[in-house]
Amino acid sequence: MGEDVQLREGVAIADRLKPLGIGWPNIVSVSRVLLTPVLVWLILGKTPTASYVAAAVFVLGAFTDALDGYLARRHDSVTATGIWLDPLTDKIFVAVPMITMTAIGVFPLWATLVIVAREIAVAVWRSYLGSRHTPMPASIVAKAKTATQLLAIALYLLPHTARASGVRLAVLIVAVALTIYSGLDYFVRIRPARETPR
């Protein structure tokens, strides 16, 4: 009897931690993608109010990036889906507003090209390593890259002023430098595992 009660309680807890069968961390990750069209609409609004709201929405989305990782570790709910979903939603959440701002002339094209090219190259490399059963955990430099990218994009989302332009550009240059370095680091440091001869 007692074992049945414990089993039912365990199932109930698992259901709470994995709503819809995919888990809270993955739901939080998907929420970032759902915020992306809102960001695009606000960016294209081209008004000071829309810019402030866009920056606030972007900061909220950036917060969910830390939240889904915390939830996965806290409840030991790391899943195969989450391993590929989290970085994918991160890339969409960063690339789409950046490309949108570039299209309307408020974000440097050179920075967008470097960042997007790096993300595509690393994604392909990660996929290849995965096919060779080689893990590719995020490095400390890559985490710093993500933080500076998020900060740079948030600053560019805010209304543009001459006083803040230098600060925005400086943060962006640091972000691009870390983007290049962290990408090269993955290719140089992480090599595919050798297949064991049969």
* CATH number, domain with residue 56: 1.20.120.1760
Question: Which tokens go with 46?
Answer: 């081209």
Tally of domains in the chain: 1
Q: Given pLDDT bands bounded at 50, 70 and 90, which one contains residue 12?
A: very low
Torsion of CA 117, 118, 119, 121, to 10 degrees: 80
Q: Is residue 197 part of a domain?
A: no
Domain of residue 13, residue span: 2-189
How do residues 80-128 score in pLDDT, each as one tens digit?
555 556 677 888 889 999 999 999 999 999 999 999 999 999 888 888 8
pLDDT of residue 100: 96
- Sorted by sequence, the CB contacts under 8 Å of residue 86 that are 6+ apart come out as 25, 26, 29, 65, 68, 69
How do residues 15-64 score in pLDDT, each as one tens digit?
444 544 456 666 767 778 888 999 999 999 999 999 999 999 999 988 87
Q: Is residue 130 part of a domain?
A: yes
Q: What is the mean pLDDT of the chain?
A: 79
CA-CA distance, 24 to 18, in Å (whole number)? 6
Q: Is residue 195 part of a domain?
A: no
CA-CA distance, 65 to 7, in Å (whole number)? 33
Q: Is residue 194 part of a domain?
A: no
pLDDT of residue 16: 46
CA-CA distance, 55 to 164, in Å (whole number)? 15
Least trusted range by pLDDT, from 71-75, 164-168, 177-181:
71-75
Q: Is residue 198 part of a domain?
A: no
Better pLDDT: 15 or 146:
146
pTM over 0.85: no
Q: Is residue 196 part of a domain?
A: no
